[in-house]
Amino acid sequence: MTKVKVAIIGSGNIGTDLMIKIIRHSEHLEMCAMVGIDPNSDGLARAKRMGFITTAKGITGLIVMPEWENIKIIFDATSAKAHHYNWGIIEKYPDKRIIDLTPAAIGPFLIPTVNFDESPNVRNVNMVTCGGQATIPMVAAINQVAKVHYGEIVASIASKSAGPGTRANIDEFTETTAQAIEQVGGADKGKALIILNPAEPPVVMRDTVFTLSEQADREKIRASIHKMVEEVQKYVPGYTLHQEVQFDDIPADKPVFIEGLGHRHGLKTTVLLQVVGAAHYLPAYAGKLDIMTSAAMTTGDKLVALNKD
């Protein structure tokens, strides 16, 4: 089976982990080039040792290489600001597609288990954020049963798993994730928080999802959540419910105030998640890398498979 050649822009933690995943597990993607801006980065060194072409001159260094002609998919694992620059160059090449792992949100949001079918022909798709990939499937699962008025997520990650790109994108993380909770998850209003936990030893990724929805059959909501967990586990085996789903009534005579929506009552659902990484690059506590890179690789594989069909 002929695979599609890909390049990764960004030789940090996320880009390096993605490279290893593609090499080991991708069905339709072939690693070709690793692109960075730091000639001493571990990601560039690893890629070079493995026999792939590398450049420390960013996207401008890649497009002058002869291999550029055969590369069809580019994964951007840099930063939100850098992605704007990279896309400004790549969009001039109509045969190239980009899968954006930054919170730049130029292209439409994509969560593989929720809305892949909405973006099969889009040249630039955005993978939201690590927290978004972990939590938005849960908001969507609840929304499939009961209209979600409000969705709030709290992503807690080990400080050691957050590289320079992640730290530079904190504001974009909260804004982009909140937007995707609404646009993909289906909530009328979304909010996102991220916590960089400095605990030693490092803790695994934990995510909490709160929703306020219309009243509905709780067992149907629970079943929808469990089904969605199983779908995500197909590409992120370490994705699990940390505790069973919890429900609370918000009575009409004691509504809560939600900024932008006013007073609301209904059913509060709490979902507690844990994401243990596959330890392809960083240790297993770096679940944030695993869910982001796994979702990106899955998206690339599905895009290629769809075009072949």
- CATH number reported for the structural domain that contains residue 203 in this entry: 3.30.360.10
For residues 282 and 134, state if they share a domain: yes
pLDDT at 120 (0 to 100): 75
**Catalytic position from the list 130, 138, 203, 291:** 130
Whether the per-residue pLDDT at 157 is higher than 70: the answer is yes
For residues 219 and 97, state if they share a domain: no
Q: Which position has the higher pLDDT, 195 or 169?
A: 195
For residues 107 and 240, state if they share a domain: no
Tokens of residue 22, six digits: 């593609």
Q: What's the mean pLDDT when you consider all of the chain?
A: 96
Mean pLDDT of 4-12: 97
Distance (Å) of CA 247 to CA 94, 157, 216, 218, 290: 48, 25, 11, 8, 29
Name the pLDDT band for 186 (thresholds 50, 70, 90): very high
Q: Which position has the higher pLDDT, 66 or 163?
A: 66
For residues 114 and 141, state if they share a domain: no
Owning domain of residue 209? 130-286
Provide the percentage of residues in the chain whose pLDDT is more than 70: 99
pLDDT at 165 (0 to 100): 78
pLDDT at 1 (0 to 100): 65
Whether the per-residue pLDDT at 27 is higher than 80: the answer is yes
Mean pLDDT of 138-146: 98
Beta bridge mates, 33: 7, 53
Burial class (CB in 10 A: 0-12, 13-18, 19+), 265: middle
Whether the per-residue pLDDT at 164 is higher than 90: the answer is no
pLDDT at 2 (0 to 100): 87
Closest CA to 136 of 157, 116, 119, 106: 116
For residues 109 and 218, state if they share a domain: no
For residues 108 and 253, state if they share a domain: no
As for how many domains the chain has, the answer is 2
Give the domain CATH number at 93: 3.40.50.720
Between CA 209 and CA 218 the distance in angstroms is: 16
For residues 141 and 274, state if they share a domain: yes
pLDDT tens, residue by residue, 61-114: 999 999 999 999 999 999 999 999 999 999 999 999 999 999 999 999 999 999
For residues 77 and 138, state if they share a domain: no
32 is catalytic: no
pLDDT at 168 (0 to 100): 85
